[in-house]
Homo-oligomer: A and B are copies of this chain.
């Protein structure tokens, strides 16, 4: 992944109603030092983020990502982001993307320790080549997320519905998956409820019905899953949010991990047990996901 562009944002209040925030967006050299050692993002993983897929300079599903950023800010007691300002930052960043696939990351940190305000920045990088995962699928292992399905409602300070920068366990889960010879992981709650991948949402096919774990059980509401469900409904399929036991994955007619940049990766095996995999249908899903979406 090559860094292409970055800009620092001087966060505006959410009720600031102007329409041009250009003077608050400062392009910086993405390869030069830019962040203070006092940054709470580095010290505590204390902040939130979004990763937006970009195809041929078109940023995908911007509004859904911005709304989730605002949701994460609320869960984390961060000042509400000014979404018009962030939308402008995304536009400026997308204009730096060459043909092909890129990823724009939005980061809102609590700021420098004891500093007056949050810090915020946006980066642009070329996307990794995800052809293999999209075409050949991924082998997954099922990993215990440690908490029971009641924990998110009982203990909101765990921030389980927010996309925080505290992703070290998610990264460790991916390493554990590779250690076991797999490509990715599916988290389940300690009481056996399917959750999500460490960096993706889970979608199961049951006949002509597509289901995904219900948000609220401590998972993110996936922007790609939302978009995919709208597409599937347009095609006449039924979609649903459900509380799904681990066995539902093993019994699915097909399953995918979907995310903003890798898009739809079919699950070909769960803990070494093969799962039905439909490469043609998966290709259709990715064709849709690669088309301009907003």
Taking Cβ atoms with an 8 Å cutoff, the residues of A that contact B are: 1, 3, 6, 28, 30-47, 49, 76-77, 105, 107, 109-110, 113-114, 121, 123, 143-148, 151, 154-160, 164-173, 175-176, 190
Contacts and interface: CB of A to CB of B under 8 A. Distances in A.
Chain A interface, >50% SS class: mixed
A32 B35 CA distance: 8
Given A44-B168, A45-B168, A143-B157, 8 more contacts: A3-B38, A39-B42, A144-B155, A146-B151, A159-B168, A159-B172, A164-B168, A166-B168
B37 A34 contact: yes
Q: Of residues A35, A43, A105, A123, which shows the largest number of chain B Cβ atoms within 10 Å of its Cβ?
A: A43
Contacts of A175: 77, 157
How many copies of the polypeptide does the oligomer hold?
2
Nearest to A105: B43
Contacts of A148: 146, 148, 190
A179 to B, nearest CB: 9
Contacts of A113: 1
A68 to B, nearest CB: 16
27 contacts: A28-B37, A30-B37, A31-B36, A32-B36, A33-B35, A35-B36, A41-B41, A41-B42, A41-B43, A42-B165, A43-B105, A47-B168, A110-B171, A144-B154, A145-B155, A146-B147, A146-B148, A146-B154, A146-B158, A147-B147, A148-B148, A157-B169, A159-B168, A159-B169, A165-B168, A166-B166, A166-B167
Q: Of residues A34, A160, A168, which shows the largest number of chain B Cβ atoms within 10 Å of its Cβ?
A: A168
Contact of A169 (B109, B123, B158, B172): B158
Contacts of A147: 146-147, 151, 190
B157 A172 contact: yes
A43 B33 CA distance: 15
A48 to B, nearest CB: 9
Contact of A37 (B121, B144, B151, B164): B121
Contacts of A176: 156-157
A128 to B, nearest CB: 9
Contacts of A38: 3, 30, 123
A46 B171 contact: yes
A250 to B, nearest CB: 20
Nearest to A30: B37
Contacts of A42: 35, 39, 41-42, 47, 107, 109, 165
